[in-house]
Amino acid sequence: MKLLVTGGAGYIGSVVTALLLEAGHGVTVLDSLSTGHRDAVPPGATLVEGDVHGAADVLDPSFDAVLHFAARSLVGESVQDPGPYWANNVGGTLALLEAMRSNGVNRLVFSSTAATYGDPPSEAPLRESDPAVPTNPYGASKLAVDHLLSGWARAHGLGAVSLRYFNVAGAHLGFGERHDPETHLVPNLLRVAAGRAPHASVLGTDYPTGDGTAVRDYLHVADLAEAHLRALERAEPGSHRVYNLGSGGGYSVREVLAAVRRVTGHPVPAVDGPRRAGDPAVLVAANALARRELGWKPVRTLDRTVADAWAFARGREAGA
- Residue 7 DSSP code: T
Terminal Cα distance for the chain, rounded: 36
The predicted-structure confidence for 189-242, as pLDDT tens digits, reads as follows: 999 999 999 999 999 999 999 999 999 999 999 999 999 999 999 999 999 999
In the structure, what pLDDT confidence band is assigned to residue 121 with cuts at 50, 70 and 90? low
**pLDDT score recorded for residue 55:** 97
277: CB partners within 8 A, 6+ apart: none
Q: 3-state DSSP: the chain helix, strand, coil percent, rounded to 5?
A: 40, 20, 40
In the structure, what pLDDT confidence band is assigned to residue 90 with cuts at 50, 70 and 90? very high
**pLDDT score recorded for residue 249:** 85
In the structure, what pLDDT confidence band is assigned to residue 43 with cuts at 50, 70 and 90? very high
- Residue 70 DSSP code: -
Q: What pTM was computed for the model?
A: 0.94
**Has residue 148 got a pLDDT over 80?**
yes
Pick from 87, 97, 86, 235: nearest CA to 155: 97
Residue 85: active-site member: no
In the structure, what pLDDT confidence band is assigned to residue 178 with cuts at 50, 70 and 90? confident
Q: How far apart are CA 222 and CA 144, in angstroms?
A: 27
Question: What is the residue-averaged pLDDT of the chain?
Answer: 93
As beta bridge partners, residue 169 has: 220
The predicted-structure confidence for 272-320, as pLDDT tens digits, reads as follows: 999 877 677 888 989 999 999 999 999 999 999 999 999 999 887 766 5
Residue of 11, 85, 117, 138 marked active site: 138
